[in-house]
Structure 1
Amino acid sequence: MDLLHTIILAVVEGLTEFLPISSTAHMGFAAKLMGMEETEYLKMFQVSIQFGAILAVVVAYWKKFFDFSNLNFYIKLAIAVIPALILGKLFDDKIEAVLGNQIAISTVLVAGGVVLLFVDNWFKKPKVMDEKEVSIKKAFTIGVWQCLAMMPGTSRSAASIIGGMTQGLSRKAAAEFSFFLAVPTMLAVTVYSLFVKTWGEATGQALKGYEMLMSSQELLLMFLIGNLIAFITAIIAIKSFIALLNKYGFRFWGIYRIVIGLALLIYFYYA
């Protein structure tokens, strides 16, 4: 994995993390198309690079995240992230096993695209227009929906936004709550991948994520550059997505997923 690979994967992560098209799928496809070897460092990088995207949300919505008088906001996020923390730990090995199955991920990409074609018609009369109107119960339910994204190719953003719309949230409110929920969710995933999970146990060179980074100045530098690029591109994606979502809804993203998913199915089937 060289600097060019790092930059491309970081741009892909930043642009797709908050769109309903699955950043995991796109990074996996990009790595395959670039002929990258599936090393333990690459796996760890693809997970922990989300830290840059986390910072993008915090910066874009800094007034919300640093309004310490709004204790209810933090409580809702803490409760909403619980399902993902529990199920993520339970199914960690199974999730990692699917990450290398590009046919399965491409199929999920297409299936999710079909769902997005109809989402706007299913939820035409939203009742909740702002995050402040989201109850504790609704927040937890959205958190449960987010767990659907544990199947690579689903999209955490799509699952949590649709979950929000099932609870009566408008498209904008559901998208923004999805952004907010991404912070504790991805922070937990990043901390787990760097300091808790042991990578490479099957290879006999078991290391924590941070141990891999500290073993080489080059790897550490690529990790830092990757997170910086992901941060910059994620801010652009966040602002653009809200505008596009309000104007066009989900149909565009559904068509995109179907087209890309089918193209990749054909490519990986004959590769």
Structure 2
Amino acid sequence: MPLLVTAILLGIVEGLTEFLPVSSTGHLILAAKLFGYDDAQWSVFNIVIQLGAILAVVVLYWRTFWAVGLGLIRGEKTAIQFVINLLVAFIPAVVLGLIFKKKIDILLESPLVVAWALVVGGVAIIAIERFAKGGDYVGIGQLPVSKCFGVGLMQCLAMVPGVSRSGATIMGALCMGINRSTAAEFSFFLAIPTMLGATVLQLASHRHELAAGTSAVGFTEIAVGFGVSFVVALAVIKGFVTYISRRGFTPFAIYRIIAGAVAIYALGHVG
């Protein structure tokens, strides 16, 4: 398959799944197996194109970021707390990500881990949907720091590919009494420093291959995947918030279980 076609397909997968509780990384790993390409060569691509989806958050919520920026200049308490809460939630991923980076890289090479994580995560979402209905905490700037740290710890579960960063953070937030829409938006905003940090780390560790052009997947493919994931994510984000406010997360859980079960079966029959 031509590199640009693969880049477009992976950009679509990333844009569709980054903010849904189905694991974008897991889908990219399974796509590597399905499309038959060398996922090691596309590892940098898979991380960097996530920034395209993250940019969609910035564009769609620019008024929020603008208000927070003005609030910081004016010294408004809510704006300051908004930034503090995001930083507190971001810290666990930084610390644990650096400590367990080598083990995480090993897990990223296992499609079977992804498949099982999809199934287990789907079951967990159904359980949380039944017993944890969210609560009265509305607005990121109004959340207690302790709950933000808790959401940050939940995000670290997504270091296991297939768990889903958005799924872990949103479900964790619901368990802590945060209402659905705030939980989803918190997950979106928290993705910005988290994925930016992961991208910088990947680019730094592979800078020589990219600069020399020795990598099979170069800047052209990365740019195409970035653009496609951005456009697709723009269409997904707003619709997702509206959907979960009305229908919840159970349909995504069912999809995870089915997709994971099919992947386990398929992987077991790959020679």
TM-score (norm 2): 0.91
Shift of 1:65: 1.7
Native 8 Å contact 1:117 1:254 kept in 2 = yes
- 1:215 corresponds in structure 2 to 212
**2:255 corresponds to which letter in structure 1?**
Y
- 1:204 corresponds in structure 2 to none
- 2:183 corresponds in structure 1 to 174
- 2:75 corresponds in structure 1 to none
Are positions 1:155 and 2:164 aligned together? yes
Native 8 Å contact 2:135 2:179 kept in 1 = yes
Partner residue of 1:134 out of 128, 138, 143? 143
Native 8 Å contact 2:11 2:226 kept in 1 = yes
Q: What CA distance in whole angstroms lies between the structure 2 residues aligned with 1:121 and 1:211?
A: 49
**1:261 corresponds to which letter in structure 2?**
G
Decide whether aligned partners of structure 1 residues 48 and 125 sit closer, same or farther in structure 2, where only a CA change above 3 A counts. Answer: closer
Q: What CA distance in whole angstroms lies between the structure 1 residues aligned with 2:160 and 2:104?
A: 7
- 1:194 corresponds in structure 2 to 203
Shift of 1:122: 1.4
Q: What CA distance in whole angstroms lies between the structure 2 residues aligned with 1:38 and 1:22?
A: 16
- 1:234 corresponds in structure 2 to 233
**2:221 corresponds to which letter in structure 1?**
M
Native 8 Å contact 2:57 2:234 kept in 1 = yes
- 2:116 corresponds in structure 1 to 107
Shift of 1:118: 2.2
- 1:200 corresponds in structure 2 to none
Q: What CA distance in whole angstroms lies between the structure 2 residues aligned with 1:135 and 1:165?
A: 14
Q: What CA distance in whole angstroms lies between the structure 1 residues aligned with 2:38 and 2:156?
A: 29
Aligned residues: 258
**2:62 corresponds to which letter in structure 1?**
W
Q: What CA distance in whole angstroms lies between the structure 2 residues aligned with 1:79 and 1:256?
A: 32
- 1:93 corresponds in structure 2 to 102
Shift of 1:232: 0.9
Shift of 1:214: 2.7
- 1:203 corresponds in structure 2 to none
Native 8 Å contact 1:127 1:170 kept in 2 = yes
Unaligned runs of 5+ in 1: 198-207
**2:5 corresponds to which letter in structure 1?**
L
Shift of 1:80: 0.9
Q: What CA distance in whole angstroms lies between the structure 2 residues aligned with 1:177 and 1:233?
A: 20
Are positions 1:73 and 2:82 aligned together? yes
Native 8 Å contact 1:118 1:251 kept in 2 = no
- 1:201 corresponds in structure 2 to none
- 2:54 corresponds in structure 1 to 54
Shift of 1:125: 5.3
Runs of 4+ in 1 over 3 A off after TM superposition: none
Q: Percent identity?
A: 40
SS in 1 for 2:162: coil
Q: What CA distance in whole angstroms lies between the structure 1 residues aligned with 2:100 and 2:173?
A: 24
Q: What CA distance in whole angstroms lies between the structure 2 residues aligned with 1:105 and 1:42?
A: 17
**1:250 corresponds to which letter in structure 2?**
F
Indicate the RMSD between aligned Cα atoms, in angstroms: 1.5
- 2:76 corresponds in structure 1 to none
Shift of 1:38: 2.9
Q: What CA distance in whole angstroms lies between the structure 2 residues aligned with 1:225 and 1:231?
A: 10
- 1:165 corresponds in structure 2 to 174
SS in 2 for 1:66: helix
SS in 1 for 2:42: helix
**2:90 corresponds to which letter in structure 1?**
V
TM-score (norm 1): 0.91
SS in 1 for 2:218: helix
SS in 2 for 1:109: helix
Unaligned runs of 5+ in 2: 72-78
**1:237 corresponds to which letter in structure 2?**
V
Q: What CA distance in whole angstroms lies between the structure 1 residues aligned with 2:93 and 2:43?
A: 20
Q: What CA distance in whole angstroms lies between the structure 2 residues aligned with 1:29 and 1:114?
A: 20
